[in-house]
C-alpha cells in the first residue's frame, strides 16, 4: 500500500473507477447520477475495454420468490460458507431485475427460455431462477454496448482514460481511508485524488498464469474472454489490507482447441451435440477417459459421485476418433457444421492406435479404446462415466485421429471480500474506508457458478458500489474536484469522444453501416456498382473488429461478395457477429447505390 501524508495531486475527482468493464461502466454511471465527478480508467486500449462483458451472452438471472431463490443458492454453495446479508441483498435485487431493466435502460426484458429447470435441476426450487435479456441474440456485443452507451451519455461528468492502469492505491496514514490512486498515464505515474471513493472493478485473473497456478491449482487454462484480466485487482486489494475470498472458484465451458495461443478457438464445443455422438471420446494425458463427454455443460462442472466438480485439469488432452467418426463429422449438417469441419482439420492422423498413442504421448490410449469398445459392444452401459449409450459407437477401422484440446476458463470469482454495500472488508473484519468493489473481482459466488448470475451481479454491484462511492465522506480533506482533468494537465484530458464521420458517395456508389459488430465503432462500407448494377467494388471505410477473427473475416467476405455479385454469402467461421454486421452494411450500401443512380 502507499501511505502519503503529503501528496502532490495531478488531478482530483470525486470517484475513481478502476476497470471499464460492465461493472465499472455501471459504477461510473451511477456515481455520475449521484452528482459525482468520475474518472473511469482501464488498462486496455480503446476498443478493447469491456472486460468479459464484451464477450458475454447478456442474459441476467431473475426470480419472483425470495425463499425459493435462497434455497436454490444455498444448495449451490454447500458446503462452502457464505455471507448471508450479502446473499440476501443480492437475491432481493435479482427479484427486481425486470424493473431495473425498464427503469435504467428503458427496455422491457424478455425471457430467454434457457435452462427452464435451472442449471442444477436436481436441486430443490431450481426452476425458481430464470434468465432474462435486454438484447436480441447472444454473444454479439449488444449487451456491452448498452452499458457503454450509458457512460458515453454522461461524458459531462465522466472522464475516461484508456491504456492507463492503476499501479497503487493511496491511503491516508491516520484513517486508512483510500484517498486516491497512482495511475500510469502516458508513460508516467500520476497521483489522482478521489474525494469520495474508489471502486475496484478490474475483473479476475484468468490471464495471470502465476495466479491461475497459485489460486486455482491448474497448470494451464485457455481464456475465452478478455485478455486484460490479469489480476491487478488482487494486488491492489492486498496492498490496501483487504481480506480475500473465493480465490479457488472459476468457471469454464470445458475445452478449446489447443494451439498455445492467448485465446484458443472453439470455446463452446462441449455444447455441440453432434460432435460427441459416435466413435469418439476425450482422452486425458495418459490416453484414458476422464469425464462424460455428452453431459450438458454446467460452466465446467461435471458430475462426480453425487457432487459436481470442475473438470480435472489435464495438460495435453485430445479428442480421439476413428475414420467412421471423422467421415461423420465431415458430413455434419448441424448448425455447428462449419465449426466442426474446421475443428477436425486440426486432427493428428495415424494408421493405428499404437502409432497415434506415440504421436500424442498417451501411453494408455490402446487400453482406453478397448475399454470404450467393451462398454459399447458388451456391457452396453458406460458404467464408469455414465455417458448415454446411444451416443457411443465402438471404434473400428482406422486411420485414427486426435485433436489437441485445452481446458478453458471463462472467468474467476476471487478477490476482496465485500459486504452488502460493496465495501471492501479488511483483515480486521471492518470496511476499508472509501474502497468499494464490483463485478467478477471478489463477487459473492463461492462455488458452482450459475449461468446469467455474473451479468446480474455486475448490474447490481455496479449500481451499489457507484452509488455508495459517490456519497460525500467526512473522513478526509482534499481539494475540490475539478470540472475536468484537462484543466490541470493537457495530457490528462479524457480519451472519450463521440465522433460522427461523414463519408462521401459518388455516382453509382452507396454508403452502408451497421453497429451490430463486436466492436463499439460501427462498420461503414462504400460499394460501387457498374452500369449493369453489378458489384464493382466494396470499400471498408471504418471498422475496429477484433484483429484475430473479425478483422480477418472482412477481406474474405469482400472477395466472396465480389465473386458472387451478392452480399448473401456464408459467414466466416468463428466470426459470425462481424460477418452479419458486415453483410448488413453492404446490403444497405447496395440499396443506397441503386437509389443514387
Strands 222-223 and 244-245: unpaired
Distance, in Å, from the CA atom of 129 to the CA atom of 209, rounded to the nearest integer, reads 34
pLDDT-derived band at 597, boundaries 50, 70, 90: low
321's grid cell: 476418433
- Check whether 68 has a pLDDT greater than 70: yes
552-572: pLDDT as tens digits: 889 999 999 999 999 999 888
Sorted by where each begins, the domain ranges of the chain are 2-250+411-492, 255-407, 509-596
- Band of the pLDDT at 477, cuts 50, 70, 90? low
Burial grade of 580 (CB within 10 A; 0-12, 13-18, 19 or more): middle
Residue 239 above 60 pLDDT? yes
pLDDT of 105 higher than 70: yes
Answer yes or no: is pLDDT of 15 > 60: yes
DSSP class of residue 50 equals B
**pLDDT tens per residue, range 418-431:** 999 999 999 999 99
Q: What pairing do the DSSP bridges indicate for beta strands 318-321 and 250-251? A: unpaired
Strand, helix or coil for residue 207? coil
51 with 22: CB under 8 angstroms? yes
Lowest mean pLDDT among 8-12, 137-141, 147-151: 137-141
Q: For 304-326, write each residue's pLDDT tens digit.
A: 999 999 988 899 999 999 999 99
The whole-number average pLDDT for the span 329-340 is 95
Grid coordinates 486500449 are at which residue?
A: 45
Rounded average pLDDT over 540-561: 81
pLDDT at 484: 45
Question: Would you state the pLDDT for residue 6?
Answer: 75
High-pLDDT (> 90) share of the chain, % = 80
Q: Taking residues 101-121, what's their average pLDDT?
A: 95
pLDDT score recorded for residue 580: 87
* pLDDT the model gives residue 3: 60
Is the pLDDT at 28 greater than 80? The verdict is: yes
Q: Which residue has the higher pLDDT, 573 or 339?
A: 339
Residue 377 DSSP class: I
- DSSP characters over 70-130: HHHHHHHHTTS---HHHHHHHHHHHTTHHHHHHHHH----EE---STT-SSTTSTTGGG-E
Long-range contacts of 364-371 (CB under 8 A, 24+ apart): 364/286, 364/287, 364/288, 365/283, 365/287, 365/288, 365/320, 366/287, 367/287, 367/288, 368/281, 368/283, 368/287, 368/288, 368/289, 368/320, 369/320, 369/395, 371/288, 371/289
Cα Rg of the chain (Å, integer): 26
223: confidence class by pLDDT, cuts 50, 70, 90:
very high
Cell 471480500 locates to 417
Fold of domain 2-250+411-492? FAD/NAD(P)-binding domain (3.50.50)
Query: Which contacts qualify for 120-126: CB closer than 8 Å, 24 or more apart?
Result: 120/72, 120/75, 120/76, 120/298, 120/308, 120/448, 120/450, 123/72, 123/75, 123/76, 124/71, 124/72, 124/75, 125/65, 125/68, 125/69, 125/71, 125/72, 126/72
Would you state the pLDDT for residue 486? Answer: 40
Q: What is the pLDDT of residue 308?
A: 94
Taking 3-state DSSP, the helix, strand and coil percentages for the chain, each rounded to the nearest 5, stand at: 30, 25, 45
Span 159-202, pLDDT tens digits: 999 999 999 999 998 899 999 999 999 999 999 999 999 999 99
Question: Is the model's pLDDT at 457 over the cut of 90?
Answer: yes
pTM higher than 0.85, yes or no? yes
**Could you give the count of Cα atoms lying within 13 Å of 578 in the half-sphere of its Cβ?**
26
Nearest to 73 by CA among 40, 118, 138: 118
Q: Which helix (H) or strand (E) holds 2?
A: strand 2-3
CATH of 255-407, one of 3.40.630.30, 3.40.640.10, 3.90.700.10, 3.30.70.20: 3.90.700.10
Is 3.40.50.2000 the CATH number for 509-596?
A: no
| 482 has a pLDDT exceeding 70 | no
- The pLDDT confidence band at residue 2, using thresholds 50, 70 and 90, is low
Please give the pLDDT value at position 483: 44
Share of the chain above pLDDT 70, in %: 94
pLDDT at 69 over 50: yes
Across residues 396-404, what is the average pLDDT? 97
Amino acid at each position: 500500500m502507499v501511505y502519503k501524508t503529503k501528496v502532490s495531486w495531478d488531478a482530483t475527482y470525486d470517484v475513481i473507477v478502476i476497470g471499464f468493464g460492465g461493472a465499472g461502466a455501471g459504477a461510473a454511471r451511477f456515481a455520475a447520477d449521484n452528482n459525482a465527478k468520475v474518472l473511469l480508467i482501464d488498462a486496455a486500449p480503446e476498443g478493447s475495454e469491456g472486460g468479459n462483458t464484451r464477450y458475454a451472452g447478456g442474459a441476467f438471472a431473475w426470480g419472483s420468490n425470495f425463499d425459493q431463490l435462497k434455497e436454490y443458492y444455498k444448495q449451490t454453495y454447500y458446503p462452502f460458507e457464505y455471507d448471508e446479508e450479502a446473499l440476501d441483498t443480492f437475491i432481493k435485487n435479482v427479484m427486481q431485475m425486470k424493473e431495473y431493466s425498464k427503469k435504467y435502460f428503458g427496455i422491457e426484458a424478455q425471457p430467454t427460455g434457457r435452462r427452464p429447470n435451472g442449471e442444477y435441476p436436481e436441486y430443490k426450487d431450481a426452476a425458481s431462477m430464470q434468465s432474462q435479456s435486454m438484447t436480441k441474440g447472444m454473444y454479439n456485443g449488444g449487451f456491452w454496448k448498452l452499458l457503454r452507451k450509458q457512460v458515453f451519455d454522461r461524458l459531462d461528468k465522466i472522464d475516461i482514460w484508456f491504456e492507463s492502469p492503476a499501479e497503487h492505491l493511496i491511503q491516508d496514514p491516520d484513517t486508512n481511508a483510500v484517498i486516491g490512486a497512482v495511475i500510469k498515464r502516458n508513460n508516467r505515474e500520476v497521483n489522482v485524488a478521489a474525494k469520495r471513493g474508489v471502486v475496484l472493478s478490474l475483473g479476475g485473473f484468468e490471464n495471470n498464469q502465476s495466479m491461475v497456478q497459485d489460486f486455482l491449482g491448474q497448470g494451464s487454462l485457455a481464456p475465452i474472454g478478455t485478455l486484460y484480466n490479469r489480476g491487478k485487482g488482487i494486488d491492489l486489494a492486498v496492498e490496501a489490507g483487504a481480506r480475500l475470498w473465493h480465490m479457488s472458484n472459476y468457471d469454464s465451458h470445458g475445452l478449446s482447441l489447443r494451439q498455445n495461443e492467448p485465446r484458443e478457438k472453439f470455446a463452446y464445443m462441449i455444447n455441440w451435440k453432434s460432435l460427441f455422438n459416435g466413435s469418439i471420446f476425450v482422452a486425458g494425458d495418459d490416453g484414458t477417459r476422464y469425464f462424460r463427454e455428452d453431459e450438458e455443460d454446467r460452466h465446467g462442472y461435471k458430475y462426480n459421485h453425487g457432487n459436481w466438480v470442475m473438470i480435472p485439469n489435464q495438460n495435453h488432452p485430445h479428442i480421439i476418433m476413428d475414420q467412421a467418426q471423422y467421415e461423420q463429422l465431415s458430413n455434419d449438417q448441424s448448425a455447428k457444421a462449419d465449426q466442426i469441419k474446421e475443428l477436425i482439420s486440426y486432427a493428428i492422423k495415424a494408421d493405428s492406435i499404437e502409432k497415434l498413442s506415440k504421436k500424442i504421448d498417451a501411453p494408455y490410449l490402446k487400453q482406453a479404446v478397448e475399454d470404450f469398445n467393451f462398454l459399447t459392444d458388451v456391457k452396453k452401459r458406460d458404467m464408469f462415466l455414465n455417458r448415454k449409450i446411444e451416443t457411443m459407437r465402438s471404434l473400428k477401422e482406422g486411420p485414427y485421429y486426435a485433436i489437441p484440446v485445452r481446458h478453458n476458463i471463462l472467468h474467476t470469482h476471487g478477490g476482496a471480500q465485500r459486504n452488502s454495500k460493496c465495501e471492501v472488508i479488511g483483515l480486521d473484519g471492518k470496511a476499508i474506508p472509501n474502497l468499494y468493489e464490483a463485478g467478477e473481482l471478489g463477487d459473492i459466488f463461492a462455488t458452482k457458478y450459475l449461468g446469467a448470475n455474473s451479468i446480474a451481479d455486475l448490474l447490481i454491484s455496479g449500481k451499489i458500489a457507484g452509488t455508495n462511492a459517490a456519497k460525500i465522506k467526512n473522513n478526509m480533506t482534499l481539494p475540490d474536484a475539478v470540472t475536468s482533468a484537462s484543466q490541470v494537465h493537457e495530457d490528462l484530458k479524457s480519451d472519450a469522444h463521440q465522433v460522427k464521420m461523414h463519408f462521401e458517395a459518388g455516382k453509382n456508389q452507396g454508403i452502408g453501416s451497421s453497429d451490430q459488430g463486436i466492436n463499439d465503432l460501427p462498420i461503414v462500407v462504400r460499394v460501387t456498382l457498374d452500369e449493369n448494377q453489378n458489384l464493382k467494388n466494396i470499400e471498408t471505410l471504418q471498422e475496429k473488429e477484433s484483429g484475430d477473427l473479425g478483422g480477418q473475416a472482412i477481406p474474405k467476405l469482400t472477395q466472396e461478395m465480389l465473386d458472387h455479385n451478392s452480399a448473401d454469402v456464408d459467414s466466416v467461421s468463428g466470426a459470425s457477429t462481424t460477418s452479419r454486421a458486415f453483410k448488413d452494411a453492404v446490403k444497405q450500401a447496395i440499396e443506397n447505390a441503386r437509389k443514387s443512380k
